[in-house]
Chains A and B, each alone.
Chain A
Amino acid sequence: MTNRDTLPSNLDARSRNGLVLVLGWVCILLGAVLAAGGVWLITLDGSLYYALAGAGLFATGVLLNHHRLAAVWLYLVVWVGTLGWAWWEVGADLWAQVPRLVAPTLILVLVLICIPALSRRR
């Protein structure tokens, strides 16, 4: 007989591991797109934000794929930086904040959900 107490948490852990992998690759992909486009924007004398945020997101994805807790800390830095930058650009204009904050915050929530599946060491 299987252990009734451990079964749910085993499933939980397995799905969390799956989420970590999927989220990791999503972050790598989106981060790469943002970073590439962001570099293009910098060459056109545009904002530095997208290249930086894209690099941060890319690195977060790599760390997630390695199940490293550092991914959470790194993404928190990216998210707090995003928050500050968004406020500096458009302040309390809620509609203008939609592209700046909605998707990054969604990713933050997903990253936080991953915490139990991440470890402090490599």
Chain B
Amino acid sequence: MCHPLPRIVLSLAALLITAAVPLQAQQADTPPPSQETLPTADLLEGDAAEEEGGSAEQMAAPAPEPLMQMGSDWPYYGGDAQATRFSTLDQITPENVARLEPAFTYHTGDLPTGEAEGMYSPEVTPLKLGDDLLMCSAMNILISVDAATGEENWRFNPGVPNEAIPYGATCRGVTIYTDPEAAPDDLCATRVVQGTLDAKLVAVDAQTGAPCEAFGENGTVDLWQDLGERVPGWYAVTAPPTLARGILVTGAQVLDGQAEDAPSGVIRGYDAVTGELAWAWDLAAPEQNRHGPPEGETYTRGTPNMWTMGVADEELGYVYMPLGNSAVDYYGSNRSEAENEYATSLVAIDVTTGEEVWHFQTVRNDVWDYDLGSQPTLLDWQGRPAILLPSKQGDIYLLDRETGEPLTPVEELTGLPQGKIEPDYISDSQPVSAWHTLRKAPLTEKDMWGFTPIDQLWCRIQFRRAIYEGFYTPPSAERPWIQYPGYNGGSDWGSVAVDVERGVIVANYNDVPNYNQLIPRADADEVGLKPIDQVEQRAGAPEGAGDPQSGSPYAINVNAGWRNDVTGMPCTRPPYGGIRAIDLETGETLWDRPLGTARRNGPFGIPSMLPFDIGTPNNGGSVVTASGLVFIAAATDNLFRAIDIETGETLWSAELPAGGQANPITYEVDGQQYVMVTAMGHHFMESGVGDEVMAWALPAD
């Protein structure tokens, strides 16, 4: 009747004691330009000899390159280069979708072993180019599969060790790059690039899977370079690099909540052909570290990171990077000015120079872990080049792509509570989108839930005991506080799909609170919370026992999805997730419905088998087709479904062997349209484990 709400494993019960790590000095000042920037200066002075010389390659400003067209393919993570997830294919229609049949199932063979048990969250979305599907597995095995038959063409295993898994083993996808100067038959003329959990960029030939030897060292670039001490699992890439003008741009997931002295959130651009560092954007030292930090130093540690998918405007030459929060999520008084300026912002970076163009901040002084997780989408909106940005708070913003100016109304919430922990740091005002938000009304005691009056009563007592002053209630230590929406969204990494022909945004979202409490350092030490670099053995997937937040005065304990500690059921009433259609012109809701049935969920983890739409938590986005269908899995009922974009009605569904917490795709081979989703489960969403890549198509008549 209720669902096992994902419980984040914020950290390990086995993490033990740490003394406070000394506050780390942030490098905000700007020393003289480093050696690497000098050639550019030479160029400006018109030194022709230099231009022709050895440094010419460094100086050539990357020019726009042809975009891959979508048509029958799915060449980018978000479908097209704009990340609309809109396909013009229309063979499968609302009228015939009920006749879909399984076309093939491919098994990657990548299943957890040893300490990786309970840590798999693959979230994989394949790309389709020509006749091939190109993908990575949870542990970064690169694979090419025949898109019509599911037969494997090749695979390349970079050998990522289990200890590299950060929060979960995730590889959302790969990036395809075709070198415009290579002959079509050259090895690596078209290459597949991924970022790995052990922090490498790996490039292989799209035809054969052979490593691209000219890329880095034998096809590999080491991203640990200039980050400081290598601690496996602390710095991991889970998203495909963003490609613009032949530059691959990547950030990384820096494991949350460990310590202020964490690996840097630096964003780096690499030449897609050679793997050479083109630039680095270190938000706390952008000038000094543009071409790497000075000898013996590292990129600024503990800065907000970019763990999700960006998007690029090839013509403008900008990449748009959704930033997360600082390494310590729930305490901010000792963050640097630069961190406060950029955390939880969308940042536009000029890919030709590595310089920031603009940024747009969605939370001031974020102490709620409201990382921007959704890939933004490029659109033309009312004649303006726009970028659409969904947030975990549920707000949907439309910004000018060139300037970052909001195109739709942004309002200020004022007089917000500032709490007792750090009232000088907590902002008393926050921006919200007045154009559209997925956020629901604040919780009341009546919203408490359970299976019987007794567990409902227990949740009501907890509600009344907690500190809750609505949206943006600040953290507290003496009593728990309620954070609503929780850090799972709103909109998370699955992002939204945009039907550019009908002018409709399709957004799925979560609707769950978190029940949190700060733990004073002395108490955290007593129960033995310590960060990843000081733990000898990381346990598997433990109960959320707290993150150490070393270097700040408090550790943090999060009950994600606020579940009853006895029954495991959520303390709040359903729905826990939904999907809605939004008019792209006006921002008005066209329809809104719960997403996910109760079939797999029930008290004490017992499946209820109830086929009713209760609305479960969901992770993973949707695809929209020109024929008016929305395909989405995402929910914890492990169903893949087709929804009528006009009405919101489910027209077809299929059971998956494990959770479909991944973005689906659709493509065409030899006149046959396929829809595809990976069914690999998700540890946080408690949706099983699998290695299936599954395709459906209409039967041949």
Contact = CB atoms under 8 A, between A and B. Distances in A.
- Binding between chains A and B: yes
Interface of A: 30, 33-34, 37-38, 40-41, 44-47, 50, 53, 89-90, 93, 95-96, 98-100, 102-104
Given A37-B458, A47-B460, A99 B446 contact: no
Contacts of B640: none
Given A34-B453, A99-B450, 9 more contacts: A38-B457, A40-B461, A41-B461, A44-B461, A45-B464, A50-B453, A90-B446, A93-B573, A99-B455
Nearest to B447: A96
A46 B446 contact: no
Given A95-B573, A95-B574, A95-B614, A41 B453 contact: no
Contact of A96 (B449, B454, B457): B449
A96 B573 contact: yes
B453 A103 contact: yes
B451 interface: yes
Kindly list the 9 A-B residue pairs having the minimum CB-CB distance in the complex, ordered from nearest: A44-B464, A99-B456, A103-B452, A99-B450, A95-B574, A96-B573, A37-B457, A46-B464, A50-B457
Interface of B is mostly: helix
Contacts of B464: 41, 44-46
Nearest to A45: B464
A43 B453 CA distance: 18
Contacts of A45: 464
26 contacts: A30-B454, A37-B454, A38-B457, A41-B457, A41-B461, A41-B464, A44-B461, A44-B464, A46-B445, A46-B460, A47-B445, A47-B460, A50-B453, A50-B457, A89-B446, A90-B446, A95-B449, A95-B574, A95-B575, A95-B614, A96-B446, A96-B573, A98-B451, A99-B450, A99-B453, A103-B453
Contacts of A95: 449, 573-575, 614
Contacts of A50: 453, 457, 460
Contacts of B455: 99
Contact of B454 (A34, A40, A89): A34
Contacts of B614: 95
Interface string B429-464: 000000000000000011001111111111011011
Contacts of B259: none
B465 interface: yes
B1 interface: yes
Given A47-B445, A90-B446, A93-B573, A99 B461 contact: no
Contacts of A41: 457, 460-461, 464
Interface residues of B, number: 22
Q: Which of B446, B449, B460, B575 has the most CB of A within 10 A?
A: B460
A101 to B, nearest CB: 9
A40 B614 CA distance: 31
A100 B456 contact: yes
B456 A44 contact: no
A75 to B, nearest CB: 14
Contacts of B465: 44
A31 to B, nearest CB: 11
A76 to B, nearest CB: 17
B515 to A, nearest CB: 16
A41 to B, nearest CB: 5
Contacts of A99: 449-453, 455-456
B439 to A, nearest CB: 19
A50 to B, nearest CB: 5
Contacts of A100: 453, 456
B443 to A, nearest CB: 13
Nearest to A104: B453
Contacts of A93: 573
A98 B446 contact: no
B454 A102 contact: no
B573 A34 contact: no
Contacts of A104: 453
A78 to B, nearest CB: 11
Contacts of A34: 453-454, 457
A104 B461 CA distance: 20
A34 B1 CA distance: 22
Interface in B286-342: none
Contacts of A53: 453
A60 to B, nearest CB: 14
A31 B244 CA distance: 66
Nearest to A100: B453
A25 B65 CA distance: 78
Interface string B573-611: 111000000000000000000000000000000000000
A103 B452 CA distance: 6
A100 B459 CA distance: 13
A62 to B, nearest CB: 19
Contacts of B458: 37
B429 to A, nearest CB: 29
A52 to B, nearest CB: 12
Contacts of B452: 99, 102-103
Contacts of B574: 95-96
A72 B118 CA distance: 51
